[in-house]
């Protein structure tokens, strides 16, 4: 049994601190129960706001330490401002304690730009990584695939795309348990002449590194969801578009499905008959269980939870962090990168 200490920024996101406290308690009782590890939380927040809620959750109280902080990162803070002026915020203090080794990772639903900037400033990047990438697993038809970058780098050079591929490969192995992950570059066509100079250059770099990575060349967006590819590498602009369009299109279709079911007595009855199967087939499309994106490439485990995450969603972000820490994701990335040279 190993101990996994994790820092929680209790002040970030639309429903803080309630969603964080309730989510952490839910995670302890339902999502991260294991004989292999034991999780302890350090909770950073403003005492008058957090304590009245924390007192209600016994399981969490017994497995956490509360640390009062004076300051909070605002959603409107520019990253550079947050780095300079929010050193005593719940977010910065949580990351500080990752740096000091007091905790093994930190989770925040707060300002993404600030979280990335403060993390880079305090933790730095792993050796041979120029820029961290935001990373998550998304649903294809029958399994999950890793997508990166989701928006940390709206413009990327070929070296960055190459490094994303190496990090995504390690993530797919360590967190998704894929043996020999199939890694591809997102492009507008399969042919080698397609895409931008940057993408073609990244293609060459990955071709040369074939021994270290199961590189499958280019993949088009319509083939990504067929389930053949484990890791999809793309710049942060297109990755952000892809992530958000997947979330909102699923939401639209499910809204229209509900509308169809709500139409009449007969269709509502049909909905009852289908309920169990629909829940089973579409469980993987529930955005709540998808919450928690890793800022991959930092010298520490930092997980970004969605700003509008509720307690269930936040609990899943905790699950992501625990998985990453338990599976030593950063040690594995570092060792894969060592083999590049």
| DSSP for residue 75 | T
Residue 39's φ and ψ, nearest 5 degrees, are -100, 135
CA dihedral angle for residue 188, residue 153, residue 101, residue 14, rounded to 10 degrees: -100
**Token representation of residue 222:** 């319509």
CB of 183 to its own copies, least distance (A): 17
Question: In 3-state terms, the chain is what percent helix, strand and coil (to 5)?
Answer: 50, 20, 35
CB of 59 to its own copies, least distance (A): 34
Using the rule CB under 8 A, is 271 a contact of its own copies?
yes
Of 50, 60, 122, 234, which one interacts with its own copies (CB under 8 A)?
Answer: 234
Of 177, 196, 204, 339, which one interacts with its own copies (CB under 8 A)?
Answer: 196
Reported residue count of the chain is 341
**Alpha helix (H) residue ranges in the chain:** 18-26, 47-54, 58-62, 79-85, 90-99, 112-123, 158-174, 197-208, 221-224, 236-261, 265-282, 311-326, 329-338
CA dihedral angle for residue 226, residue 145, residue 290, residue 134, rounded to 10 degrees: -130
Of 205, 278, 334, 340, which one interacts with its own copies (CB under 8 A)?
Answer: 278
- Could you give the CA distance from residue 287 to residue 303 in angstroms, rounded to a whole number? 16
Per-residue binding letters, 206-225, with its own copies (x by CB under 8 A):
--------------xxxxxx
- 2-61 positions binding its own copies, by CB under 8 A: none
Of the candidate spans 18-26, 87-95, 150-158, 159-167, the one that interacts with its own copies by CB under 8 A turns out to be 150-158
Which of 139, 112, 143 has the alpha carbon at shortest distance from 247? 139
Of the candidate spans 85-93, 177-185, 186-194, 294-302, the one that interacts with its own copies by CB under 8 A turns out to be 186-194
Using the rule CB under 8 A, is 237 a contact of its own copies?
yes
CB of 273 to its own copies, least distance (A): 4
Residue 67's φ and ψ, nearest 5 degrees, are -125, 115
- Could you give the CA distance from residue 304 to residue 136 in angstroms, rounded to a whole number? 10
Using the rule CB under 8 A, is 248 a contact of its own copies?
yes
Using the rule CB under 8 A, is 247 a contact of its own copies?
yes
Of the candidate spans 4-12, 36-44, 176-184, 194-202, the one that interacts with its own copies by CB under 8 A turns out to be 194-202
Using the rule CB under 8 A, is 238 a contact of its own copies?
yes
Beta carbon nearer to its own copies, 54 or 152:
152
Beta carbon nearer to its own copies, 97 or 144:
144
Beta carbon nearer to its own copies, 123 or 243:
243
Of 257, 289, 334, 340, which one interacts with its own copies (CB under 8 A)?
Answer: 257
Q: Rounded to the nearest 10 degrees, what angle do helices 112-123 and 90-99 cross at? A: 30
Query: Residues interacting with its own copies, by CB under 8 A?
Result: 78, 140-141, 151, 154-155, 186, 188, 193-196, 220-226, 234, 236-238, 240-253, 255-257, 259-261, 263, 266-267, 269-274, 277-278, 280-282, 285
């Amino acid at each position: 049994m190993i101990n996994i200490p994790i820092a929680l920024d209790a002040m970030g996101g639309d429903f803080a601190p309630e969603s964080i406290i309730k989510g952490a308690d839910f995670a302890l009782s339902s999502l991260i129960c294991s004989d292999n590890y034991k999780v302890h939380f350090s909770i950073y927040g403003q005492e008058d706001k957090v304590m009245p809620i924390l007192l209600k959750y016994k399981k969490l109280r017994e497995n956490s330490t509360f640390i009062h902080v004076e300051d909070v990162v605002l959603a409107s803070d520019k990253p550079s401002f947050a780095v300079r002026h929010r050193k005593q915020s719940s977010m910065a203090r949580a990351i500080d304690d990752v740096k000091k080794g007091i905790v093994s990772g930190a989770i925040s639903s707060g300002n993404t730009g600030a979280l990335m900037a403060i993390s880079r400033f305090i933790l730095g990047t792993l050796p041979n990584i120029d820029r961290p990438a935001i990373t998550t697993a998304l649903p294809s038809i029958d399994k999950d695939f890793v997508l990166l970058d989701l928006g940390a780098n709206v413009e990327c050079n070929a070296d960055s795309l190459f490094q994303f591929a190496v990090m995504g490969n390690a993530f797919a192995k360590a967190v998704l348990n894929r043996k020999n992950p199939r890694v591809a570059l997102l492009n507008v066509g399969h042919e080698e002449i397609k895409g931008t100079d940057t993408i073609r250059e990244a293609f060459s770099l990955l071709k040369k590194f074939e021994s270290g990575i199961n590189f499958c060349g280019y993949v088009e967006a319509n083939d990504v969801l067929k389930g053949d590819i484990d890791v999809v590498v793309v710049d942060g602009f297109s990755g952000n578009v892809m992530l958000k369009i997947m979330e909102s299109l699923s939401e639209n279709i499910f809204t229209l499905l509900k509308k169809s079911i709500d139409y009449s007595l007969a269709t509502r009855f049909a909905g009852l008959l289908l309920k169990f199967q629909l829940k089973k087939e579409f469980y993987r499309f529930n955005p709540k269980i998808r919450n928690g994106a890793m800022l991959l490439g930092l010298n520490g485990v930092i997980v970004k939870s969605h700003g509008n995450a509720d307690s269930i969603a936040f609990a899943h972000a905790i699950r992501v962090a625990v998985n990453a820490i338990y599976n030593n994701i950063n040690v594995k990335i570092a060792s894969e990168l060592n083999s590049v040279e």
